[in-house]
Copies of this chain bind each other. A is one copy, B any other.
Amino acid sequence: MAAVARPGPLSGFPELLPGQRMIEQQIIDGLRRTFELHGFAPIETRAVEPVERLTGGAEVDKEIYAVRRLAEVEASETEAGLGLHFDLTVPFARYVLENAGKLEFPFRRYQIQKCWRGERPQAGRYREFIQADIDVVAEDQLPFHHDIEVATVMARALVALPIPALRMQVNNRKLLQGFLIGIGAPDPPGAMRVIDKMDKMPADVVGQLLRTEAGLSEEQARACLELAGIRTPDTSFVDRVRALGVREPLLDEGLAELSAVIEGCAGIARDRITVEADLRIARGLDYYTGTVFETRMNGYDALGSICSGGRYDSLASDGRTTYPGVGISLGLSRLLVPLFADGSLGASRDVPSAVLVAMADEKSRGASGLVAQRLRVRGISTEVAASAAKYGKQIRYAQRRGIPYVWFPAIGPEAEHEVKDIRSGNQIAADPDTWLPPEVDLKPQLVSTPKTAE
C-alpha cells in the first residue's frame, strides 16, 4: 500500500471500534437466536437490485445509490441500472418470487443485513445501516394470527436487548379506514396521511389540515382527532372508540384485530417493553393494509421509530399468485450507533481474550503456546504475550487490553502453573486443563450506563 495521509470518517457511514463491534455482534446473535427459536429461517440477499425494482417502476428515488463498474462508460450495458438496496423488503419480495417453487409457505424468514440510502445524515439516519427484519409470507392467503406472531417474536427479541425501555405502538389500517368511512370522510387515504403527521405537529394544525387537505367537516375533523388521541396499554381502546358512536363493519374488523395483537403481546415483560394500542399510528407507506407497528425508545424520541412494519396484502405478485405478508423491521444501526456514541453502551474489554499467557523468555514461546491451546480447547479465549518482556510489563500489556487474567506457565518439573487476576492481584496455582474463569469473564460483557436525560 502506498503511504497516505491519515483518513477521516465518511459522514453517514458509521464504523465501530472492535469492542463495540463485539457487542453489536452479540446483539445480532441474540436476535438470530430468538428468531430461529420461533422457526424463522435466515436468508441473505445480494446487495444490489435492478434500479427499476428499487423504484417500483414509479418515479426515480434520488437517494438510491446506483452501482456501476468503472469500466462501463455507458449506463446502457447489461449491468446498468443496478442499485444498492435501501431496505430488506424489496429484495425479500424479489427473492420470494424468484424462489417460490423451492420455498414452503407460509415462509418465515429473518434477514440481518446492511442497507444503503443516500439521505442527509442526521441523528439515527445513516447512509449505511444494518436492518434486522422478520416477515411471514404466504401464497394467496395469510391468516391473521401471523400478525400476532411477528409482533410477539419481535417484542421477545427486543426485550432481551441491553437498551433503554421501548414502547411498541400498534394500530390497524382497517380501524382507521373503517372509522373514516363511518364518519363519511370523502378521501380516507388522504385523511390517513394527515393523521400520520400527528407526531410532528400540534393537534390544531392537524385538525385544520384534515379540513383543508382531506375535505373533512369541522365535526368530522374533531372526531378524527379524538380517535387519534386514544392510546391504551390494553384493549380498553375498544370502548373508547365505541363511545365515539361510529358504526362500520371495517371498523369492527380493525378493532377486533388490534385487540387480538394487544392481547397476544400481553405476556411479554412489561418493564422492558410496553405494547400499546396507539390510534395515531398510520405509517406513511401506502402498501400496509391492516396491522401497523412503530416502536420508540425512551429518552431517544428524536430517533423516531426504531422498529416498524405491518401487514401488506401483496408483498409480491407474479401476475398469477399474490404473496401477502406481515413483517417488522428493526433499525439496528439507528438504535445502537447513538447508544455507542453517547457512551450508554460499551464493552468490558476490546479483545475477546480472557487470558494472556506470559513468557519467561522468547525460547518458551512454544511452551506458552501449548498452554494457550489447552485453555482454548475448553472455550477460553487466550493470547500469548507479544514479547518476553519483564512480567510487570506483560501484565501492563494485558491491562491495556482489558484482559482480566495473566497465566504464568510452570517452569521446571516441580513447578506449578499460576494464574493472576490482574484486577484483584490474586494469584493462584491452576491446571490449564481444568481452570475456568467465572462465566462473566469468559467473554467481553456489555456495559450499559443509561443516560439520565437526553
Contacts and interface: CB of A to CB of B under 8 A. Distances in A.
Interface of A: 1-10, 13-19, 21-22, 24-25, 32, 36-48, 51, 53, 56-58, 60-71, 79, 82-84, 90, 93-95, 97-100, 102-104, 106, 108-109, 114, 116, 118, 128, 143, 145, 287, 312, 314-319, 350-353, 365, 376, 379-383, 386-387, 400-401
A158 B200 CA distance: 54
A153 to B, nearest CB: 10
B9 A98 contact: yes
A261 B250 CA distance: 73
A17 B424 CA distance: 51
A39 B128 contact: no
A351 B41 contact: yes
A429 B383 CA distance: 49
Nearest to A146: B386
Contact of A67 (B15, B19, B84, B316): B84
A37 B379 contact: yes
A43 B21 contact: yes
Given A44-B15, A53-B4, A70 B66 contact: yes
Given A97-B4, A116-B47, A352 B70 contact: no
A5 B13 CA distance: 34
A41 B38 CA distance: 30
Contacts of A44: 15-16, 21, 24
Contacts of A350: 41, 104
A70 B79 contact: no
Contact of A63 (B17, B41, B69, B351): B69
B1 A317 contact: yes
